[in-house]
C-alpha cells in the first residue's frame, strides 16, 4: 500500500511545485499515471521511492515511513523493496547487459547474488528478447533494447512495488505490449503494486486505475 498525506514538494530555485492532500493506492493495484510533460509525474515516483524528500507531509510504502528515513536507509529500502524503471534508464556504460541486470545485487549487502539469481536474470532476458544480447555493452544496443534491460533489472529483486517511468516509451508496438504484460504479470504473481507513468493511452485499459496528475495535485 502507498499512502501520501498532506504532501508538498518544490524544487529549490524553481517555480514548479506539487501537493497531494491525500493519495492512497492499495497493495496489488495496477495504476497508470497520466498528464502532460512537466506536470510532476516523475517527481511523484521519486517521492514515493525516496529519491526525493518532501518539504512537508508523509510518504508511507507498506509499513515503512519512507519520508522519515535517512538517505542511506531510503537507498537500501529502494534497492531491496522497489523496482524502479527510470526514464533515463540509468544503465552503466562500463558493464555489459547481464551485469547491468545483476547490478542491484552488487551494491546492496541485503541482497545475495547466487546461481538462482543469475538464472532468474537469464530468464527475464529471454522473456524480453535479450537472451542473445547479455554480453553486449549498452552502447551496442538500440534504445528499445536498453529499455528492456532496465525492465529486467527492476524485476530481478521481485519487488513488492514497481515504479515505471515511461517503461514502454521507446518500444515498437510488439515489444511495448511484451514489456507491459511482463510488468503486469510480475505484479499479479506476487500481488505487488505497479505504478506506471505513461503517455500511451492505448495501454490504459490494462490498468485497474488511472490517475491524472493534474487532478491529484
Domain spans of the chain, in order of start: 2-216
pLDDT, one tens digit per residue, over 96-109 is 999 999 999 988 87
Taking phi first (over 0 means left), then psi (-120 to 50 degrees means alpha), and beta for anything else, what does residue 120 get? Answer: alpha
| Rounded Cα distance, 199 and 189, in Å | 26
SS3 168: coil
The kind and range of the H/E element at 182 are helix 173-190
The conformation of residue 20, written as its DSSP 8-state character, comes to E
pLDDT at residue 217 is higher than 80: no
- Mean pLDDT of the region 173-191: 86
SS3 10: strand
pLDDT on residue 163: 96
- Rounded to the nearest integer, the mean pLDDT of the chain is 90
Fold topology of 2-216 = Rossmann fold (3.40.50)
pLDDT, one tens digit per residue, over 15-49 is 888 888 889 999 999 999 999 988 899 999 999 99
Amino acid at each position: 500500500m502507498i499512502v501520501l498525506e498532506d504532501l508538498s514538494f518544490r524544487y529549490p530555485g524553481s517555480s514548479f511545485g506539487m501537493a497531494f492532500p491525500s493519495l492512497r493506492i492499495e497493495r496489488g493495484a495496477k495504476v497508470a499515471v497520466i498528464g502532460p510533460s512537466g506536470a510532476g509525474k516523475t517527481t511523484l515516483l521519486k517521492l514515493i521511492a525516496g529519491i526525493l524528500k518532501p518539504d512537508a507531509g508523509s510518504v508511507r510504502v507498506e509499513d515503512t515511513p519512507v519520508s522519515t528515513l535517512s538517505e542511506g536507509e531510503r537507498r537500501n529500502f529502494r534497492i531491496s523493496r522497489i523496482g524502479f524503471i527510470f526514464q533515463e534508464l540509468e544503465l552503466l556504460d562500463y558493464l555489459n547487459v547481464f551485469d547491468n541486470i545483476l547490478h542491484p545485487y552488487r551494491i546492496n549487502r541485503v541482497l545475495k547474488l547466487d546461481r538462482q539469481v543469475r538464472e532468474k536474470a537469464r530468464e527475464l532476458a529471454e522473456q524480453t528478447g535479450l537472451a542473445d544480447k547479455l554480453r553486449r555493452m549498452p552502447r551496442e544496443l538500440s534504445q528499445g533494447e536498453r529499455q528492456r534491460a532496465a525492465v529486467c533489472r527492476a524485476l530481478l529483486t521481485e519487488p513488492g512495488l514497481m515504479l515505471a517511468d515511461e517503461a514502454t516509451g521507446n518500444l515498437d508496438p510488439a515489444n511495448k505490449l511484451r514489456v507491459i504484460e511482463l510488468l503486469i504479470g510480475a505484479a499479479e504473481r506476487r500481488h505487488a503494486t505497479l505504478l506506471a507513468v505513461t503517455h500511451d493511452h492505448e495501454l490504459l485499459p490494462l490498468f485497474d486505475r488511472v490517475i491524472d496528475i493534474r487532478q491529484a495535485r
